[in-house]
């Protein structure tokens, strides 16, 4: 291993690395080789308590600073992240197995975008003045307090930043728990924030699996929980938060539809389907994994898709020529293999790929099923791997109805050159994050999140401020109080 991937300690609490060997040790596995590249200890109740205590203490002084002061620190952190993009990208690749070609442009850079955006916004957060004759009301936009962030394993740097940046801009403190599968990157985010001047305790990282997450969610000191993860976990976390009336943001799974009409530009539609199914080896929540292709373009679409998939460079993710890497873990690879087997067993036609690669690491081929029907398991359940289901359709009405016939609602996309159809169809699709003649763009300026089982609340954009702050309304009487007795 050419890089030193062992972190200085497992946790980052109250402004410094913290080790606590009483917590169970767990390995960090490099997905491209299956080798252990670090060992991390799970947080004990004492470490969790220390992190929450530090956050509660630090939050008050942090909130007392001006928005401009807080914003300056976040923007400095954004600059540091960009300066260290390569080093952070290499670590992201070790943590997740995603190709360096991707991590160089999608992870620390996206994290920096969030820190810069919310850093810029911090000074402009205000309440309002409401005149009522002589009297008036003013509102104060106040932080929620201590927020907990819980991450999935597919975008460890980005998820930590997408949660920390708006939370901190609004004057909250955060305790962040990365996924136990990818514990390394969030520690670097903490390091960089502190190097940029963040006061100790405002952003903390503790490691561990679901039970550490659950201990954080149920703690009385916590005002809000933001989770990125699966729907089953989301239901548990939402219920636990509801018991104490805590605020939540839920960024959960999906089975999003991508509609390709006969009049679509073929190569753009194929490109969108590739981006929406095979980027990050398909481990993207918003992926358009149900690709509905209108019958007139279906044959050409499948042919062109196969041609372009043959151009995938599958290999060592640290080689910048590689554009398709392994899955994150042995467990995830097996889940995906099971879905591929189910697709074949239920009668879908394997049109491309489907096999594990004969090499070390957790590599599966990009896989396409054609002749998929709505009732098949691979068309109903989130696979979270490089498996595209292609379904045929005749009419716009039919495609919309079938696209919406799911309990999920994260994303949706349409490829057509008919502009009225594009907007008409998008308006009908039940999804929070949509695309016309594109797929999976996630600029920090745009709200991101789902409807139905895919989530609650929005990350990114000005909208995120509403999920990390609350309004205090203050009535000011200028005259005498008229009481009835």
Q: CA-based angle 136:137:141, to the nearest 5?
A: 150
Is the Cβ of residue 185 or residue 351 nearer to ligand NAD in the bound state? Answer: 185
Q: How many helices (H) and strands (E) does the chain have?
A: 16, 20
Tokens representing 224 are 């809000």
Least distance (Å) from ligand NAD to the CB of residue 249? 9
Q: Which helix (H) or strand (E) holds 248?
A: strand 247-251
What is d(CA 327, CA 364) in angstroms, rounded to the nearest whole number? 7
What is d(CA 28, CA 273) in angstroms, rounded to the nearest whole number? 32
Q: Is 180 noted as a catalytic residue in this protein?
A: no
Least distance (Å) from ligand NAD to the CB of residue 173? 19
In three-state secondary structure terms, 260 is: strand
Tokens representing 51 are 């992190």
Q: Which phi and psi (to 5°) does residue 16 adopt?
A: -150, 160
Least distance (Å) from ligand NAD to the CB of residue 134? 48
In three-state secondary structure terms, 205 is: strand
Least distance (Å) from ligand NAD to the CB of residue 163? 10
Is the Cβ of residue 151 or residue 288 nearer to ligand NAD in the bound state? Answer: 151
> Which residues of this chain interact with ligand NAD, rule CB under 6 A?
150-154, 177, 179-180, 209-210, 213-214, 217, 228-230, 233, 236-237, 251-254, 285, 382, 384, 410, 450, 455
Q: Which helix (H) or strand (E) holds 191?
A: helix 185-195
Nearest residue (beta carbon) to ligand NAD: 213
Is the Cβ of residue 339 or residue 393 nearer to ligand NAD in the bound state? Answer: 339
Is the Cβ of residue 59 or residue 233 nearer to ligand NAD in the bound state? Answer: 233
Catalytic residue among 98, 163, 188, 224: 163
Catalytic residue among 116, 251, 365, 396: 251
**In 97-147, which ranges are continuous DSSP H helix?**
100-106, 108-121
Is the Cβ of residue 116 or residue 251 nearer to ligand NAD in the bound state? Answer: 251
What is d(CA 384, CA 154) in angstroms, rounded to the nearest whole number? 10
What is d(CA 196, CA 194) in angstroms, rounded to the nearest whole number? 5
Q: Is 396 noted as a catalytic residue in this protein?
A: no
Cα separation values, 116 from 27, 85, 180, 223, 238, Å: 33, 15, 27, 25, 29
Q: Is 285 noted as a catalytic residue in this protein?
A: yes
Does residue 88 contact residue 257 with C-beta atoms inside 8 Å?
no
Pairing assessment for the beta strands 367-370 and 349-352 based on DSSP bridges: antiparallel
Least distance (Å) from ligand NAD to the CB of residue 26? 11
Least distance (Å) from ligand NAD to the CB of residue 358? 26
**In 14-107, which ranges are continuous DSSP H helix?**
45-64, 67-83, 85-96, 100-106
Least distance (Å) from ligand NAD to the CB of residue 236? 4
Is the Cβ of residue 180 or residue 374 nearer to ligand NAD in the bound state? Answer: 180
Is the Cβ of residue 446 or residue 474 nearer to ligand NAD in the bound state? Answer: 446
Least distance (Å) from ligand NAD to the CB of residue 409? 11
Question: What do you get for the CA distance between the two ends of the chain, in Å?
Answer: 81
> Per DSSP, what are the bridge partners of residue 26?
40
Chain centroid offset of residue 298 CA:
32
Q: Is 334 noted as a catalytic residue in this protein?
A: no
**Quick count: other Cβ atoms within 10 Å of Cβ 477?**
11
Does residue 459 contact residue 162 with C-beta atoms inside 8 Å?
yes
Least distance (Å) from ligand NAD to the CB of residue 177? 6
Tokens representing 279 are 């980027």
Tokens 């640290």 locate to 318
Is the Cβ of residue 152 or residue 318 nearer to ligand NAD in the bound state? Answer: 152
What is d(CA 360, CA 438) in angstroms, rounded to the nearest whole number? 34
Per DSSP, the residues of 357-395 read -SSSSS-B--EEEES--TTSHHHHS---SSEEEEEEES-
What is d(CA 389, CA 383) in angstroms, rounded to the nearest whole number? 10
Is the Cβ of residue 330 or residue 371 nearer to ligand NAD in the bound state? Answer: 330
Q: Annotated catalytic sites, by residue?
A: 163, 251, 285, 459
């Amino acid at each position: 291993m050419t890089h030193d991937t062992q972190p200085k300690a497992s946790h980052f609490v109250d402004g410094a690395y913290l080790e606590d060997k009483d917590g169970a040790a767990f390995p960090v596995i490099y997905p491209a080789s299956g080798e252990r590249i670090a060992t991390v200890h799970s947080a004990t109740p004492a470490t969790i308590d220390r992190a929450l205590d530090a956050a509660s203490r630090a939050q008050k002084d942090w909130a007392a600073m001006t928005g401009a002061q807080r914003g300056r620190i976040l923007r400095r952190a954004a600059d540091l992240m960009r300066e260290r993009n390569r080093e952070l990208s290499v670590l992201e690749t070790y943590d997740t197995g995603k190709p360096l070609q991707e991590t160089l442009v999608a992870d620390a850079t996206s994290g920096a975008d969030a820190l810069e955006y919310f850093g810029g916004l911090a000074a402009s957060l205000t309440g309002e003045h409401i005149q009522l004759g002589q009297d008036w009301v003013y509102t104060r936009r106040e932080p929620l307090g201590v927020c907990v962030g819980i991450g999935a394993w597919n975008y460890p740097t980005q998820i930590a930043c997408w949660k920390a940046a708006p939370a901190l801009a609004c004057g909250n403190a955060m305790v962040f728990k990365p996924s136990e599968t990818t514990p390394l990157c969030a520690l670097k985010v903490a390091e960089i924030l502190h190097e940029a001047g963040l006061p100790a305790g405002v952003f903390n990282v503790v490691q561990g699996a679901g039970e550490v997450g659950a201990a954080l969610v149920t703690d009385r000191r916590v005002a809000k929980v933001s989770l990125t993860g699966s729907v089953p976990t989301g239901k548990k976390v939402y219920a636990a938060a509801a018991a104490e009336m805590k605020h939540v943001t839920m960024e959960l799974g999906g089975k999003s539809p991508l509609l390709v009409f006969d009049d679509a530009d073929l190569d753009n539609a194929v490109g969108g389907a590739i981006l929406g199914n095979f980027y990050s080896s398909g481990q993207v929540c918003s992926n358009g994994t149900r690709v509905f292709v209108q019958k007139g373009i279906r044959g050409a679409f499948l042919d062109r898709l196969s041609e372009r998939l043959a151009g995938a460079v599958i290999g060592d993710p640290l080689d910048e020529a590689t554009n398709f890497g392994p899955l994150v873990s042995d467990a995830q690879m097996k889940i995906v293999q099971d879905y591929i087997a189910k697709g074949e067993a239920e009668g879908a036609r394997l049109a491309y790929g489907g096999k594990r690669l004969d090499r070390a690491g957790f590599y599966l081929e990009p896989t396409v099923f054609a002749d998929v029907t709505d009732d098949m398991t691979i068309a109903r359940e989130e696979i979270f791997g490089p498996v595209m289901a292609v379904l045929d359709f005749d009419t716009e009405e039919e495609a919309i109805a079938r696209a919406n016939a799911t309990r999920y609602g994260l994303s949706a996309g349409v490829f057509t050159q008919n502009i009225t159809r594009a907007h008409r169809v998008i308006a009908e699709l039940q999804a929070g994050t949509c695309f016309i003649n594109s797929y999976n763009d996630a600029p920090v300026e745009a709200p991101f999140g789902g409807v139905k089982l895919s989530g609650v609340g929005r990350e990114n954009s000005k909208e995120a401020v509403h999920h990390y702050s609350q309004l205090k309304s203050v009535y000011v009487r200028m005259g005498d109080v008229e009481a009835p007795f």
